[in-house]
A and B are shown apart, each in its own frame.
Chain A
Amino acid sequence: MSAQAMTRPVAGGRAGGRRVRTVLWHVGVAVVVLVLLYPVIWLVSTSFKPADEVLSNLALLPRHATTGNYGQVFGGVAGYSIWQYLGNSLTVSIGAVIGNVLSCSLAAYAFGRLHFRGRGPLFGFMISTIMLPQHVVLIPQYIIFQKLGLVNSFWPLILPKFLATDAFFVFLMVQFVRGLPRELDETATVDGCGPFRTFWYVILPLLRPAIITTSIFTFIWTWNDFFTQLIYLNDPAKFTLPLALQIFVDQTSKSAFGPMFTMSVLALVPIGLFFLAFQGFLVEGVSTSGLKG
């Protein structure tokens, strides 16, 4: 019925009209996608432009393509190899992933399966911290790490993840744990497994999808994170990619724009790869749990 209503304006051949509509729709959507992704495409193309084209040429193809910018970036930025920044970013991101997966799944199991006094209020409190602007805890946290002499190290960026401060992922996993059939852990209990072994041998393997979602998002968010890294990392030897990009901005030289955009591309590559590999997972994760992108 609705199909009929939709095709009514096109008199005559139904199928033909539908095809025209479909083509128009594809063209329309594709144009919108192109406009939307123009900045990204421009960025990638600019990284292959010679210095004099970087700011003047808005076209998507360089007139004289060059890999000179890449050569310059791989030759080192501010005295450090780009691999060092890459390594720092990876260390922080992977550390955060391990921390989040471990601590959040532990907490999620407790909240989702075990009975203990104070579960209700604690769970409520946990949920409320999802909404908490991080700025409220930012300064005292900074002071704590400063007094401990841990500013300018990766600890302030990783340690909190091991303490399940990303309540969102706890919540995500709690939802998942609750969805698991109880019979499984009951069987395990009958077999003589305590809660710890049940968690390790039964729950954790079943949690896999939630763990993957958590891992991907933790990785991407940490990789992109600028604010925390800006505050805690000061020494260029410890800089992550987003901070190293800042070096270009600060070094007040127009000739640095080519390498700057090149490094911007490199900083986005891991996200791009994750996206290509897990796009289904990512989009599914967002639509089922409301994860922020």
Chain B
Amino acid sequence: MANTALTRPARQVTARPAQRSRPRRRGQRAAYVFLSPWIIGATVLTVGPMLASLYLSFTDYDLFDSPKWVGLDNYVRMFTEDDRYWHAVTATLEYVVVSVPLKLALALAVAMLLNKDRRGTGFYRSAFYAPSLLGASVSVALVWRAMYGDGGVAGRVLGVFGIDVGSMVDQPRYALLTVIALAVWQFGAPMVIFLAGLKQVPKELYEAAALDGAGPVRRFLAVTLPMLSPVLLFNLVLETIHAFQSFTSAFIISSGRGGPSDSTLLYTLYLYQRGFNDFRMGYASAMAWVLLVVVGLITVLLFRGANRWVFYMGEGKR
């Protein structure tokens, strides 16, 4: 069925010999046909909605009545009046700043541990990667809530060391940490990328360093880290962008509330609450645009800053 449908356009094109004079044009037309789903999608589901949400961010809109223009009200309210907005910003920044470096450090450490020509590395690599596939699911978030909740394993293990934390998910001090732990748990994906990067590092460099009398720490700092820096940058950017948009874990662990005391109110969770519980679509749109601008700025900053520490092989051969 799909087969005949797909070949139909080809027939129609050839049916008009007058326009077939130049194959280039045929290529042009074909290209647009191939691209048309994407073009429709990009127009109707990306560019259009982006502009629409920009417009909505200047309005008050609840889905029931038509949007009412309010100028900068949403933005002003967000930055000056809404305490919960700042709770969300704080929680998100803490989440990003703690989880991303921890995750990358763990990923790098395990990648180096696995970067050996030993039997079983393939199996271990897969085993470490598995949480990255499972971690985004509701199932695992539910497990997390049980593990860090009343009588869960985390409390009991810490209890053995004489630390009484009680139910971690119910205390603002610890609740976000449990969400962070779930993010860090999924270090497998960046680890696999690091591992691929490590395989590219020429063995001779280590040998040369060893000849110069460099110890393991020195070898790591002088060879591994610089050689791996492009991969590190890639992981850093990817994980940061990703972390800013985390939702499911915080939602499930806090039963959708972002509590206790807004400690797990990640930005997207608050955006969801404003948009889909209170139906303040204008306000939520304004929040989304601020997120877009901030994430964009941070990405640019990461790339700018990268000039100082990222080392590319080509230029390094000077």
In contact, B38 and A126 (Cβ under 8 angstroms): yes
Interface size on B, residues (CB 8 A): 107
In contact, A25 and B53 (Cβ under 8 angstroms): no
In contact, A133 and B295 (Cβ under 8 angstroms): yes
**Cα of A26 to Cα of B211 in the assembled complex, Å:** 29
Across the interface, name the chain A residue whose C-beta is closest to B185. Answer: A36
Contacts A126-B38, A134-B245, A287-B195 hold; do A264 and B139 have CB atoms under 8 A apart?
yes
In contact, A58 and B156 (Cβ under 8 angstroms): yes
Q: Is B138 close to A, CB under 8 A?
A: yes
Contacts A33-B127, A139-B275 hold; do A195 and B30 have CB atoms under 8 A apart?
yes
In contact, B129 and A293 (Cβ under 8 angstroms): yes
- Segment of B40-48, B80-88, B92-100, B307-315 engaged in the interface with chain A: B40-48
Q: Is B70 close to A, CB under 8 A?
A: no
Q: Is A242 close to B, CB under 8 A?
A: yes
Q: Is B19 close to A, CB under 8 A?
A: no
In contact, A141 and B153 (Cβ under 8 angstroms): no
The smallest beta-carbon distance between A190 and chain B, in angstroms, is 12
Q: Is B278 close to A, CB under 8 A?
A: no
Q: Is A155 close to B, CB under 8 A?
A: no
The smallest beta-carbon distance between B46 and chain A, in angstroms, is 6
Q: Which residues of A contact B114 (CB under 8 A)?
A: 29
Contacts A125-B42, A290-B193 hold; do A279 and B126 have CB atoms under 8 A apart?
yes
The smallest beta-carbon distance between A76 and chain B, in angstroms, is 19
Interface size on A, residues (CB 8 A): 93
Q: Which residues of A contact B6 (CB under 8 A)?
A: 196, 200
**Cα of A193 to Cα of B318 in the assembled complex, Å:** 48
In contact, B284 and A139 (Cβ under 8 angstroms): yes
The smallest beta-carbon distance between B251 and chain A, in angstroms, is 7
Q: Is B68 close to A, CB under 8 A?
A: no
Q: Which residues of B contact A106 (CB under 8 A)?
A: 34-35, 37-38
25 contacts between A and B (CB under 8 A): A33-B128, A43-B139, A55-B151, A106-B35, A114-B27, A119-B31, A131-B296, A136-B289, A136-B292, A137-B53, A140-B52, A140-B56, A143-B281, A163-B37, A196-B6, A196-B9, A196-B33, A197-B10, A200-B3, A227-B248, A242-B137, A249-B255, A267-B139, A271-B133, A283-B129
